[in-house]
């Protein structure tokens, strides 16, 4: 029996760590390359269409967005990294905000790093994963859009293995991983059970 989402509400958008809500609940941050399907995944996990705004424009999320779940924990939607069309100055400030949050948010339990299972591993994804390791920030990997991969389970496994092999070039072991599809709710139960288990330890 998976964690049931009875209540999911958007709390607000915050431009800096200092402006974020008081750190009283366990928090889980979701982050990935721009256009990785983050908003769709959040809506799928919470069973609430439109909770996170879905956009075809990469880089639409530019603030730290908070959602309170069941009045017991927070889901944090962080800006995506990658090819968003913004100035270098804006990008630098953006990256500093993300790094500051991930390194200094006292009640952050885990970061969920979203990787598009539909495309080959990217340099920016690997750099971000390695940075999390260097900073000792707990994280897991979430493969998105697995329903788009041709060739059924064999095709899916081939794509994911390519990403795993790239990670293992700099890691001794793979972090915990989840395979998801926002279209058919693949991975919903597994991720929510994982979060529930961590909530019990908070």
What is the DSSP secondary-structure string of 57-106? Answer: STT---SEEEEEETTTEEEEEPPPBS--S--HHHHHHHHHHHHHHHHH-T
Decide if pLDDT at 149 tops 70: yes
Decide if pLDDT at 152 tops 80: no
119: its two tokens: 């495309």
**CA 32, 38, 41 angle in degrees (round to 5)?**
135
Domains of the chain: 8-199 (3.40.50.300)
Give me the pLDDT at residue 197, please.
95
Q: Which residues are bridge partners to 68 per DSSP?
A: 9, 74
CB of 79 within 8 A of CB of 61?
A: yes
- Percentage of the chain lying above the pLDDT 90 cut: 71
Give me the pLDDT at residue 143, please.
96
Instruction: Answer yes or no: pTM beyond 0.85.
Output: yes
Between CA 138 and CA 155 the distance in angstroms is 29
């Amino acid at each position: 029996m998976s964690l049931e989402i009875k209540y999911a509400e958007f709390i607000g958008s915050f431009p800096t760590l200092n402006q974020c809500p008081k750190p009283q609940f366990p928090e889980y941050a979701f982050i990935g390359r721009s256009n990785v399907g983050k908003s769709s995944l959040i809506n799928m996990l919470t069973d609430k269409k439109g909770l996170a705004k879905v956009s075809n424009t990469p880089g639409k999320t530019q603030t730290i967005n908070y959602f309170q779940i069941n009045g017991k924990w927070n889901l944090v939607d962080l800006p995506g990294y990658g090819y968003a069309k913004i100035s270098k100055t804006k990008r630098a400030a953006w990256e500093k905000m993300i790094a500051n949050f991930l390194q200094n948010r006292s009640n952050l339990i885990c970061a969920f790093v979203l990787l598009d299972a539909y495309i080959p591993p990217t340099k920016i994804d690997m750099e971000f994963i390695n940075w999390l390791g260097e900073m000792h920030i707990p994280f897991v990997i979430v493969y998105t859009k697995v329903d788009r991969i041709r060739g059924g389970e064999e095709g899916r496994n081939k794509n994911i293995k390519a990403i795993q092999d790239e990670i293992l070039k700099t890691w001794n072991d793979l972090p915990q991983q989840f395979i998801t599809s926002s279209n058919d709710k693949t991975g919903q139960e597994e991720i929510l059970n994982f979060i529930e288990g961590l909530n019990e330890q908070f």
